[in-house]
Amino acid sequence: MDIARPTQSLIYTDWTLTENQFEPEQLHSRETVFTIGNGYLGTRGSFEEGYPRSSPSTLIHGVYDDVPIVYTELANCPDWLPFLVIIDGDRFRLDQGQILNYQRQLDLRRGTLARRVRWRSPSNKTVDLSWERFASLAEQNVLALRFEITPLDSEVTVEIQASINGYPENQGYNHWELINQGKTDQGTWLNSRTRASRIDLAIAFKMAISGIDAALQVTNAPGYPTISSTFIATPGTNVIVEKLMTIFTSRDTQTPVESAHNKLTQLPNYVTLLNANEAAWREVWHQSDIVIEGDTRAQLAVRYNLFQLLISAPSYDDKVSIPAKTLSGFGYRGHVFWDTEIFILPFFTFTQPKIARNLLTYRYYTLNGARRKAAHYGYKGAMYAWESADSGDEVTPRWALPNQPYGEEIRIWCRDREIHISADVAYAVWYYWKATGDDEWMRDYGAEIILDTAIFWMSRVEWNTKEERYEIREVIGADEYHEHVSNNVFTNRMAQWHLEKALIVYDWLSSSFPDRFAELKAKLKLTAERRSRWQDIATNLWILYDDSSALIEQFEGFFKLEDINLEDYEPRTKSMQAILSIEGANRRQVLKQPDVLMLLYLMRQSKEIPYTQETLQQNWDYYAPRTDITYGSSLGPAIHAILASDLGKNEEAYERFMQAALVDLEDVRGNANDGIHGASAGGIWQAVVLGFGGVQFAENGPVAQPQLPPGWNRLKFKIHWQDNWHEFDLVSPNSSSVAMNKIPDIQGVIFDLDGVLTDTAEFHYRAWQRLADEEGLPFNREANEALRGISRRESLLLIAGDQPFSEDKLLEMMERKNGYYVESIENISPADLLPGALNLLDELKQAGIKIAIGSASKNARPVVEKLGIANRIDAIADGYSVQSPKPAPDLFLHAAKLIGIPPENCLVVEDAAAGIEAALAAGMYAVGLGPSERVKAAHVVLPNLAGVSWTDLKTKLNGAIPG
């Protein structure tokens, strides 16, 4: 249900964004906000009739042209919008006459932009005017505009002029040469060509009028073909005008003019085109929509960001990619950054994988540009451009011009030093492959990307003879406030990760596709020696990471910089770099955006080094307060939202999420006029699905561990994984819409650790055996079985038998045994989880079930950490928690208290008789694992957790409990 919520002059519903008041001071930011498109082109939300100082643009994927200073940019294409209306000699404009009523609405569900105005002319004639337009998602070369006019108080003479403006500008520069124009039976057309890149463009349109008899006239002023009509309209008469357009470039076809003409003759009426467009949007939203119940503002904001990604995504072109500002403005000149691969691509990988494939194939076709850049700097392999356009060559401007007449030019070092982009592309390639299983694409495209960029890293690292390690010096990391740094951890670890994956791809390709491997071996000069070098670098590349503190130094010498307290600079409305100067920020511990935290986020899914929950906590506490999260980079808030959610900081997570979600809608940073913040939009999908939805990718596919923000009653979305769709319907435990349907009503599950989630029994046995041998006590594996589920002290007393040991001796022996055990478990890892354990934990999380550990072991916490499941566990009750061990119920009762669930709503999973007895004594349900003779008292007995789902477990439990 749509519930209106006003914010400033905008009204949000679930699917529509409405502006009820025209505010001239927001002209340019709202032009960005009301951008429409179809993945082929994007058109800003400028007014059809024009407005002083407006910034209309239509940007088409791949239509780049050279320009002084900035190398190349997306060329603003001929404007298809112009539509003048003249009422009794008065030209309709929002800055003339009187606006009696105004509404502009973007309908995300249908992909349409509509505007309705009641206007009183300077001659005191009142009319209702309305426009609706869309770029067809069903046919990418088709655009449509519908205009309606109704006089209200008197008869009026109406003149309309629908045109193509062949003189568009990119902030003062016109990229187009007029080639030809003319008229046909269907209407009129224009043919232009870019000045340097020589791309031809043809745009044709026709017009139809209904509701009145009116003749059409075609005029062909140079560069401004126009169809006009004049008619008299009486009060209450509703006149409808349809302006239908076709547009082609020489990137699409060898004959753009002919293609535009032919397509125009085939076009049906506006309504038919609109219906086809709506059907196409229904299909896209069916796969990509996110449903949020309980928070209309968040719902609209999420859909809005996804809409802007979808309309900038090339469905049929694999030689282009999504620019940082999408196709919505002149910011960054239409250049492609790491924003696409790291922030935007996951949304498409998991909801529109064909588009994700196109975006990554663009990087394949720009490999030659990356090779030219590497060669220019004296390196081997492929070094991706920090800013890329059509060829893949570096197009980052070398200098930024000053805003003041006597200011100094600013050297832009990103083009030379921000080299992590090559690893970022490899990261995106790897995870696309993992998510889709697209071996064919990996063989033909992805492998060459990963291998040739690995060669670049091999030539870029330096060997430190004194320290006997590889280093990467003179770089810029993700945090761009610090230039010319060495051993930036983000860069070094991503390069190391890249080389680790290159080794895997090298071996996979050689064994699975020997012919393709032989081809690349010759082309890239792949040798066994080169592979060995990759391994050596990956092993010996320096990563500044202190195991003892879990704190990561962002780069060599960062901790020696002057510290800073950002609160001292509040309130502010500009970045810390603008306040401190470039050099001032460079000397201080202030970050433009997450750097170490960004690395932890990228390693979060696979739990690869250096990611652990403890490392995340330590580095969050250090770096989050030093990050210019408000006016630094728009890339930061969404990532902070996810990590804050992981750390249980729900209020901060939601605050950062909304900061990202509204960055354009409410012009949070004051720069929405430059275009949509594409990376932030992609980060929004990740924040909702991977953050609040808690999606992780397990052996059998994605599972969710939801952490819904307060006020969200429900979260629904789909994920495409390995050729299958997975639907998630996550509900808040406090939502009235939740149907628990659990008999018994299990709300919490308490797991023993040893023998249930992992098997450390062997480690315990060896530690006890060693102690028994040292003390001359009889002990064997059969005797060890009697120790299951009981405390260390009780175990020792059983082993000691009748031997009289003093209390001090018993304590010393227990400590000795524990030392042996701790020593033996040092190398436990997630690989030591028992079959089925992780999947069941993930299913429980997805179902909203609280999870606790109830283990007699005093080492339960470190074991849980080493197993990599700490983020799935809500509480741990261990050997330190209670005085009375199992079979007393104290431990499980304590665990239930920790997770806030009544005992009668708890289920215990145990593998020991003492544990089952303790669970029953606590008034809880019990699942016993192992031989029935050992755990026969449990409500349900299973051999182990392999293949056990939560649904199956509930069914078995229900069948075991009398009705």
Of 666, 593, 601, nearest to 630 by C-alpha is: 593
Tokens 């299990």 belong to residue: 746
d(CA 538, CA 532): 10
C-alpha span between 673 and 23 (Å, rounded) = 14
E strands, 339-409, are 399-400
Residue type, 164: I
Distance of CA 690 to the CA centre of its chain: 8
Q: 333 has which bridge partners?
A: none
User: Which burial class, exposed, middle or buried, applies to 702 when counting CB atoms under 10 A from its CB (0-12, 13-18, 19+)?
Assistant: buried
Structure tokens at 813: 């022996």
Contact call for residues 943 and 927 (beta carbons, < 8 A): no
Verify cis geometry, omega within 30 degrees of 0, for the bond prior to 706: no
Rg (CA), the chain: 33
Closest by CA position to 683, among listed 631, 643, 630, 652: 643
**Among 289, 297, 299, 293, which residue's Cα sits nearest to residue 713?**
293
Nearest to 476 by CA among 415, 402, 562, 406: 415
DSSP conformational letter for 848 = T
List the structure tokens of 496.
Answer: 């190391």
Is 44 buried (19+), middle (13-18) or exposed (0-12) by CB count in 10 A?
buried
**β-strand pairing of 16-19 with 224-233:** unpaired
Bond into 885 cis (ω within 30): no
| Nearest residue to 169 via CA among 300, 34, 59, 18 | 59
Q: Which of 480, 843, 910, 917 is catalytic?
A: 480
Q: How far apart are CA 421 and CA 417, in angstroms?
A: 10
Tell me how far CA of residue 373 lies from CA of 319, 395, 415, 460, 495, in angstroms. Answer: 19, 11, 10, 13, 18
- Phi-psi category of residue 878: left, alpha or beta, with phi > 0 → left and psi -120 to 50 → alpha: beta
Structure tokens at 573: 């409305």
* Interatomic CA distance for residues 398 and 383, integer angstroms: 17
Residues in the chain: 963
Check if the beta carbon of residue 948 is closer than 8 Å to that of residue 961. Answer: no
- For the record, the structure tokens of 732 come out as 């808040």
Contact yes or no for 233/156 (Cβ under 8 A): yes
Q: In angstroms, rounded to a whole number, what is the distance separating the alpha carbons of residues 37 and 135?
A: 5
555 and 530 Cβ atoms separated by less than 8 Å: no
Q: Report whether the peptide linkage leading into residue 571 is cis, meaning its omega lies within 30 degrees of zero.
A: yes
Local structure of residue 108 (DSSP, 8 states): T
- CA torsion sign for 325, 331, 334, 339 is negative
Examine the residue annotation and report whether 480 is marked as an active-site residue of this protein.
Answer: yes
Q: Which amino acid is at 415?
A: R
Q: How far apart are CA 285 and CA 310, in angstroms?
A: 10
The tokens for 320 are 């282009």
CA distance linking residue 340 with residue 349, whole number of Å: 12
Query: Rounded to the nearest 5°, which phi and psi values hold at 379?
Result: -110, 170
Question: Comparing C-alpha atoms, which of 345, 476, 471 is closest to residue 416?
Answer: 476
What are the catalytic residues? Answer: 480
